Amino acid sequence: MMWNTIKKSLHGLLSESELNLWISPIQCQPQEGDILTLTGPDRFFCAWVEDRYLEQIRRVAREVGQFSDVRLLVADPQTQHFENNKRGQLLLPGTAATPKLRSLHPAFTFAQFMMGESNMLAGSACKALAGGEKTFGNCLFMNSSTGLGKSHLTQAVVHQVLQTAPSTRLHYLTAQQFTADMVKNIRAKSMELFSKKYVNNCDMLLVEDIHTLTGKAKTQEELNTILDYLIKSGRRVILTSAVPPNKLTDFDEDFRSRIASGLVTGIMSPDFETRARIIRHKMGQHGLPITDDQVGFMAEYLRGDVRRIENAIIGIKAQCCLHETTPDLAMIRDVVFGLTDGAAEVTAESIRDLIGRQFRVSIDELCSRSRKRTVTFPRQMAMYLTRKFTNQSLADIGSLYNRDHSTVLHAVKIITREMSQQSAVRQQIEILTAQLKR
């Protein structure tokens, strides 16, 4: 039979496992002219074969049987009798029946993630990578302090890939889990299998908490080799860390350069508007009505990571259940002040938010290279107030606005001079200072 001849010819082109998994289950239908018609057990199987092997089959078919074309169809479920069905579900080469992934939070999806200026780039890049787009490249490094959404975005990518492209060979784990896996394989003298798992059998790699590899030279070396292959071969890579690459201490320079070879973006604390949207969304999830005044109060005081907002809403819901009532401003104030000691923390981000609202300038504009007076003056005010009310270094303040320490020092001198010369500037600083203290 001609199909058997074609299969024999494929032996020199494909591995034994590929032949057994993806070629042997295919059946040949009665010939119609010079077109060879093949059938596979299901739509997923046929899609995989069409993507990976059909062109090779067509080439061999033309050489062996002089067929003009090869068609691959899904077999009629009432008539198919494939040997592989007796052994259970077909598996991807090099994978287990149930992929081993780090535990996923069911709510960490793109639908539940609130986009804002503070996380727009990270969110957009993750959505693109999840959809297989290369708009932002194929490697992403996200950094932020805890509770700002980097794990949410990473798991949202995994959720979407598993839903829309389940055949993707995906590995999602923490840097600690990667280290433990490597040590286990070193002890078992099976590093070849370890490398094959992350190099040959990986379409997408997601590793969280890269900063925990500080001082672990062997792990850095092994991961560096894997990332080098994956990135150069166009595979998708997402890495997360508590700090940006340039602040990772005790890291090999080659490894530090590798992880920063793609898009590097930080996730900042959500601004006022984003906090307001998060509050409305999460209050709605808990079935709690809320007014604009209540949202504004919570958004003003619950700054920093999103977990503070979640803790406050849980407290509000508990109070509502206890008293069998709906939330009012007095109840919300008691709960929020219980978490914040009655005062909103003054941070570099909260000062930036305040300046943005007062001068009607977006965060993107404040961080841009614009030299317009309508942007440079608010930026200088923000730098001055951040230097006055926080313990941030000049370099840290500068990085918040994509500037260096000398720019911050210049801004402080400019505002100090104008306060002594112009009463209007002095009054503006006094008003802003009063709002920050309040």
- Quick: pLDDT tens for 17-74: 678 778 888 888 877 777 888 888 777 677 778 878 888 888 888 877 677 788 888 8
Cβ count near 354 (within 10 Å): 19
Domain count, the chain: 4
Q: Would you say residue 87 has pLDDT above 80?
A: no
Q: What is the CATH number of the domain that holds 427?
A: 1.10.1750.10
Q: If DSSP codes are grouped into helix, strand and coil, which group holds residue 160?
A: helix
Shared domain for 391 and 420, answered yes or no, is yes
What span, in angstroms and rounded, lies between the C-alpha atoms of 270 and 275? Answer: 6
Q: What is the CATH number of the domain that holds 174?
A: 3.40.50.300
What span, in angstroms and rounded, lies between the C-alpha atoms of 335 and 64? Answer: 77
Shared domain for 302 and 431, answered yes or no, is no
pLDDT for residue 115: 87
Shared domain for 218 and 248, answered yes or no, is yes
What secondary structure does DSSP assign to 82-149, as a single string? -HHHHT-S---TT--SS---PPPPTT-SGGG----TTTHHHHHHHHHHHTT--TT-SEEEEE--TTSS
Confidence of residue 273 (pLDDT cuts 50, 70, 90): confident
- Quick: pLDDT tens for 138-161: 999 999 888 888 999 999 999 999
pLDDT for residue 140: 95
Confidence of residue 209 (pLDDT cuts 50, 70, 90): very high
Please give the angle made by the CA atoms of 128, 131 and 134, to the nearest 5 degrees: 50
What span, in angstroms and rounded, lies between the C-alpha atoms of 172 and 163? Answer: 15
Helix (H) or strand (E) holding 171, with range, is strand 170-174
High-pLDDT (> 70) share of the chain, %: 91
Shared domain for 329 and 304, answered yes or no, is yes
pLDDT for residue 438: 63
| Range of the structural domain that residue 352 is part of | 348-437
Which of these, 89, 106, 107, lies nearest to 98 by C-alpha position?
Answer: 89
Q: Are strands 139-143 and 236-241 parallel, antiparallel or unpaired?
A: parallel
Q: Indicate whether 92 belongs to any domain.
A: no
Confidence of residue 393 (pLDDT cuts 50, 70, 90): confident
Q: If DSSP codes are grouped into helix, strand and coil, which group holds residue 387?
A: helix
Confidence of residue 76 (pLDDT cuts 50, 70, 90): low
Please give the angle made by the CA atoms of 405, 407 and 410, to the nearest 5 degrees: 110
Q: What is the CATH number of the domain that holds 13?
A: 3.30.300.180
Residue with tokens 């999460």: 282
Q: Indicate whether 324 belongs to any domain.
A: yes
Q: Indicate whether 120 belongs to any domain.
A: yes
Shared domain for 222 and 325, answered yes or no, is no
Q: Which of 311, 340, 369 is the last residue of a domain?
A: 340
Shared domain for 130 and 253, answered yes or no, is yes
Q: Indicate whether 104 belongs to any domain.
A: no
In the predicted model, what is the mean pLDDT of the chain?
A: 84
Q: Would you say residue 227 has pLDDT above 90?
A: yes
List, in order, residues 6 or more apart from 107 with CB less than 8 Å away: none
| Cα torsion angle, 160, 166, 167, 171, sign | positive
pLDDT for residue 272: 85
Shared domain for 253 and 122, answered yes or no, is yes
- Quick: pLDDT tens for 114-139: 888 888 999 999 999 999 888 899 99
Residue with tokens 């074969």: 49
Shared domain for 242 and 280, answered yes or no, is no
Shared domain for 141 and 245, answered yes or no, is yes
Residue with tokens 């959505």: 127
Q: Indicate whether 336 belongs to any domain.
A: yes
pLDDT mean over 184-191: 89
Decide: 36 and 159 in contact? Cβ < 8 Å: no
What span, in angstroms and rounded, lies between the C-alpha atoms of 230 and 244? Answer: 21
Decide: 355 and 366 in contact? Cβ < 8 Å: yes
More confident residue, 419 or 78: 419
pTM across the whole model = 0.57
What secondary structure does DSSP assign to 363-380, as a single string? HHHHTS----HHHHHHHH
What span, in angstroms and rounded, lies between the C-alpha atoms of 412 and 359? Answer: 18
pLDDT for residue 129: 95
